[in-house]
Amino acid sequence: MSVKSIISRCDALFEDLDFHCVREWKQAHPGALAIGYMPIYVPRELIHAAGILPVGILGGGDRLEVIHGDAYYQSYICRIPRSTIELAVTGRLDCLDGMLFPSICDVIRNLSGMWQIKFPGKYVRYFDVPQNYESDIGGQYYINELQVLRDDLGRLAGRPIPDADIRASTAAYNENRRVIAGLYQYRAAKPWQVPTAELYLLLRAGLVLPVEEHTRLLGEYLAATDAEPRPVRDNCRVVVTGMFCEQPPLGLIKSIEMAGCYIVDDDFMLVARWLLDEVPLEGDPLQNLSEAFLKRSAESAAKFVARREDKGRFLIDSVRHNRAEGVVFAAPSFCDPALLERPMLQRALNREGIPYTAFKYAENSGQMQPIREQAGTFADSIKLWSE
Amino acid sequence: MALVTAGIDIGTGAVKAVLMRHDGDVHDWLARRVERIRRRDPLVLAREIYAALLVEQRIPGGDIAYVATTGDGENVPFRTGHFYSMTTHARGAVFLAPGIVAVLDVGALHGRAISIDLRGKVLSYKMTSQCASGSGQFLENIARYLGVAMEEVGELSLKSDNPEKVSSICAVLAETDVINMVSRQISTPNILKGIHLSMADRLVKLLKSIKAASGRVMLTGGLAADIGLVAAMREQIAEQKAGVDVISHPDSIYAGALGAALWGEFRYRKLAQLEQLAKAV
C-alpha cells in the first residue's frame, strides 16, 4: 500500500463521527461488545482480553456542530465534554455498550456522572488510577481497581477473563506499543518522512481499529514512507505538549509544521504510549500492568509528580533525546490540567535554557493564521538567533 | 566559498524573486523580478519566475544552495526553508539601508511597523487592523475608479494643491467619500493626496506605537515605490512630531525576497557548520 492510500483510510476513519467501522466490527462479530474510553489512559488489555473492542472517544473535533452539548456545561468549561455528550445524545455512540472515564480532571469525572444518568442501560465506570507510586500502596490500590474492571468486563462478556487471555492481549498491545515507539523514533530521525498530520491520523486509527489490525497498518506505513523519499526542509525541531485530551484540529498540526517546525515528539494519543516499556508476560498479569503503570509510564498534567525538582524532567528528557530546539505549548482553552501545569514546565525549561512559545486552541478552532504567525516567528527566532 | 541563494516573496498582490551571490561578507544581486499575481496561481507564478531567473543567469537549479521563501510561500514545494515576513523585511531593509531603526512594510493587504536592532533582529511590531483602508489594495481600487494607473498615482499626488480629506478608518466609507469627491469635481491629484495623507496618518500612528522616535525608518513593500505616499508620510511625521525620517529605496519592493535570500545564506552556512560539528563529535 502507498502512503497516500494508508493515510486516506486513516483520514476516513478520523472523519467518521458515526463510527461505522465499530458498527461493522460488531456485525462481523455477532454478540461482541464495544466499550468507549476517554483520554488519557485505560488498560485496553483488559477490554481486549474480554473479547470487547476498545474504542477511543476524543470528542467531535471541528466537524461536529454542538447544539445539545452546550446545555450541559458552563461557558468556562472546555469543549471536549460538550462535543462528546453531543455525539452521545445524537445517537452516534449507540454502538458502544459502555464507557470508561479515566481520572483526568473534574470535568471528565462529571461527564461520567452525566453518562450514568443519561444512559442507565450502559456500563459506565469512572476509572481511577493511583497518584501514589509505591507498589504496596498505590500499586495495591491499582491492582484492586484493575480487578474490579476485569470482573465487570467479564460479566459483560458473559465469561470470566482468565490470566492467559490477559497475557495474550498484553502481548498484542506490547507489539503495538513497540511499533508506535519505532514510528516515533523514525520520525525523530527523519521528520520530513513522517509529517505529524500523518502520524496523528495513524494514531487516531488505532482508537477504533482492533489492535492487531492497527499494528499491521503502522508497519505498512513505515515501510511505505521509507520507500518514498520526501524533500528535506530547513525546519526547526520542536516538541509539542498539552494536547493530551481535547484534540487540536488537524489544520492546527499542519499549520505548526507549515510554519517551519518539525514536530519530533508530542503527547497525542497517550493511551497508546503511556506504558514506556514492554509489559512482562510472566507472572500475575494485573501486577505486571500495575508495575508498568507505576514505574515506567509517561508523564502528563494529570499525573502527580511527587518531587518538585522532578517536574518537567520528562519533557526536558524528550527535548534532549529527540534533539529538539524548542517546545510549543499548545493547550485547549479552559483545560485546567494543561494550563496549570504550563508555568511549572516553563520554569523547568527556563532553567535549562530551552526556548518555548505557547498558545491555546479549541477542538473547533478555525482561524489558523495567528498560530502560523506565532509558530513561524518562533521557528525563525530559533533558526536565526539561537546560539 | 561563494554560493548562490534564491529568495521568493509571495505577497497578496505580487510575487517577487531574487538571486544572490554570497562570497564571505560580500552579497551581490544577480537577478530580480517582480510580477503582479492578477488572478493567477501564486505557487505556479513563483515557479515560473524562479525558473526564468535561473535561465537568465544560466544557473542550474541544483546549484542553488538555499531556496528561501517568505510571505505566503510556505507551500512552495521546491523551498529549502521558509521565513516569516517580518524577519525577512527587516533583514532586507537593513541590507538596503544599514543603520535604520525600523521598517514600515506597506503591502497590498496591510501595513506593519517593525522595530529592529542594527542586525535586523525584530524587537517588536504592530500591524494595521483588519480594515483595508491603509493598504495597497485599497489604493489600487481607488486608482481604478479614477482611471489612473498605479504607476501614475505618486506623481499625480505630488501635484495636489488642496488635498481633500477622506475617512481613515474604513475602506468602504473612504470609497464612498471618493465617489462624492468625483461628483463634486475635486481634481484627481487632490483626491489622491487626500488618500495618501489618510494612509500616512495611520502609518505614522503605527510607528509611534512601536516607539520609533528618532533615526531612519525604511519603507518596504509594494507601496514603497509610491513617491506620493513617501511625501505624505513626511508631512504627517512633521505634523505629528514623530521625530523619525522615512526613507525609501528603488529596490524596497524586493526587501522580503532579499531578506529571505540573505537568511538562506546564513542558514546554509550554519547548517554546514552544525554538520561539521556533528561529524567531529
Chain A nearest-CA distance from B36, in A, is: 23
User: In the predicted model, is pLDDT for residue A70 greater than 70?
Assistant: yes
Per-residue model confidence (pLDDT) at position B212: 86
pLDDT band at B113 (very low <50, low <70, confident <90, very high): very high
**CA separation for the pair B233, B139 (Å, rounded):** 15
Distance from CA of A268 to the nearest CA of B (A): 25
B152-162 pLDDT, tens per residue?
999 999 999 99
Report the percent of chain A where pLDDT is more than 90.
91
| Set of chain A residues whose Cβ sits within 8 Å of the Cβ of B86 | 377
Among the partner residues B87, B121, B271, nearest to A234 by beta-carbon distance: B271
Confidence of residue A317 (pLDDT cuts 50, 70, 90): very high
Q: Is the pLDDT of residue B133 over 60?
A: no
* Residue that is written with C-alpha cell 483526568 in the block: A104
Fold of B3-84+254-280: Nucleotidyltransferase; domain 5 (3.30.420)
Query: What local confidence, expressed as pLDDT, does residue B132 receive?
Result: 58
- Chain B residues within an 8 Å CB radius of A259: 74, 82, 84
Q: Which residues of B touch A373 (CB under 8 A)?
A: 84
Report helix, strand or coil for A32: coil
3-state secondary structure of B82: strand
What pLDDT, on the 0 to 100 scale, is given for residue B168?
A: 59
- Note the CATH number of domain B98-248: 3.30.420.40
Instruction: Using alpha carbons, select from B109, B153, B101, B152 the residue that is nearest to residue B132.
Output: B109
Mean confidence (pLDDT) of chain A: 95
Structure confidence at residue A157 as a pLDDT band (50, 70, 90): very high
Do A233 and B271 make contact, defined as CB atoms within 8 angstroms? no
Residue B240 has a CB neighbour count (10 Å cut-off) of 14
The confidence score (pLDDT) of residue B90 equals 95
A55-74: average pLDDT: 92
- Determine the pLDDT at residue B134: 61
Min distance B88 CA to chain A CA atoms (Å): 10
Exposed e or buried b for every residue in A220-231, given b needs 16+ CB within 10 A?
Answer: ebbebbeeeeee
Which pLDDT belongs to residue A132? 92
- Cβ pair B74:A372 closer than 8 A: yes
Q: What is the pLDDT of residue B177?
A: 82
Residue A230 Cα, gap to closest chain B Cα (Å): 11
Quick check: A370 contacting B, CB < 8 Å?
Answer: no
Give me the residues of A, 206-245, that contact B with CB < 8 A: 231, 233-235
Chain B residues with CB-CB distance to A384 below 8 A:
83, 87, 121, 263, 266-267
Residues of B in Cβ contact (< 8 Å) with A260: 74, 81-84
Residues A78 and A246: beta-carbon distance below 8 Å: yes
Q: Which residue of B has its CA nearest to A259?
A: B74
Lowest mean pLDDT among A90-94, A252-256, A383-387: A383-387
Q: How far apart are CA A349 and CA B166, in angstroms?
A: 51
Chain B residues lying within 8 Å of A231, measured CB to CB? 77-78
Distance, in angstroms, between A231 CA and closest chain B CA?
A: 8
User: B-chain residues within 8 Å CB-CB of A258?
Assistant: 74-75
B30 touches chain A (CB under 8 A): no
Residue B89 scores a pLDDT above 90 = yes
Residue B169 near residue B202, CB atoms below 8 Å = no
Distance CA A178, CA B37 (A): 50
- pLDDT band (50, 70, 90) for residue A321: very high
Per-residue DSSP letters for A359-387?
Answer: EEE-TT----HHHHHHHHHHHHHHHHH--
Residue B174 phi/psi, 5-degree rounding, is: -65, -40
Angle between helices A196-205 and A211-226 (to 10 degrees): 160
Q: What cell was used for A182?
A: 519505532
- Which of B69, B75, B84, B114 is the best residue to mutate to test the A interface, defined by the most A CB atoms within 10 Å of its own CB? B84
A218-269 pLDDT, tens digit per residue, is: 999 999 999 999 999 999 999 999 999 999 999 999 999 999 999 999 999 9
Element (H, E) at B264: helix B255-280
Query: Are residues A377 and B271, on separate chains, in Cβ contact within 8 Å?
Result: no
Instruction: Give tens-digit pLDDT for B24-48.
Output: 999 999 999 999 998 899 999 999 9
- Pairs across A and B, CB distance < 8 A: 46
Give the residue from B82, B126, B270 with the most A CB atoms within 10 Å of its CB, the best one to mutate.
B82
**A136: confidence class by pLDDT, cuts 50, 70, 90:** very high
**In Å, how far is A322's CA from the nearest CA of chain B?**
15
Comparing B247 with A368, which gets the higher pLDDT? B247
Instruction: Give me the residue from B74, B80, B87 closest to A259, CB to CB.
Output: B74
Which stretches within B135-211 are classed as H helix?
136-146, 150-158, 171-183, 188-209
Ordered domains of chain A (ranges, CATH): 23-165 (3.40.50.11890), 229-385 (3.40.50.11900)
Model confidence at A360: pLDDT above 70: yes
Subunit contact B267:A234, Cβ cutoff 8 A: yes
Locate B63 and state its grid cell.
546549484
CA–CA separation, B210 and B90 (whole Å): 14
Does residue B66 sit at the A interface (CB-CB below 8 Å)? yes
Q: B6-25 pLDDT, tens per residue?
A: 999 998 889 999 999 999 99
Q: What are phi and psi of B272, to 5 degrees?
A: -65, -40
B132-160: average pLDDT = 85
* A372 contacts B121? CB cut-off 8 A: no
The verdict on a CB contact (< 8 Å) between B80 and A233 is yes
Q: Crossing angle of helices B150-158/B188-209, nearest 10°?
A: 90
The answer to whether A97 and A33 have CB atoms below 8 angstroms apart is yes
User: Where do we find the cell 509558530?
Assistant: A375
Torsion of CA A260, A265, A271, A272, to 10 degrees: 100
Question: How confident is the model over A363-382, as a mean pLDDT?
Answer: 89
Q: Is A55 on the interface with B (CB under 8 A)?
A: no
Q: Least CB-CB distance to A380: which of B78, B79, B87?
A: B87
Q: What is the pLDDT of residues A183-208, one digit of tens each?
A: 999 999 999 999 999 999 999 999 99
Yes or no, beta carbons of B77 and A231 under 8 Å apart: yes
Is pLDDT of B185 > 70? yes
Give residues with Cβ within 8 angstroms of A171, minimum separation 6: A281
Q: According to CATH, where is 3.30.420.40 located in chain B? A: 3-84+254-280, 98-248
Q: Is B266 on the interface with A (CB under 8 A)?
A: yes
Mean pLDDT, range B169-195, rounded to an integer:
84
Q: Is B138 on the interface with A (CB under 8 A)?
A: no
Say if B95 is an interface residue toward chain A (CB within 8 Å): no
Strand B3-10 relative to strand A236-241, pairing: unpaired
Per-chain mean pLDDT for chain B: 90
A235, B81: Cβ pair inside 8 Å? yes
The answer to whether residue A259 neighbours chain B at the CB level (below 8 Å) is yes
Structure pTM?
0.89
- CA–CA min distance A312, chain B (Å): 27
**Chosen from A232, A233, A234 to mutate, greatest number of chain B CBs within 10 A:** A234
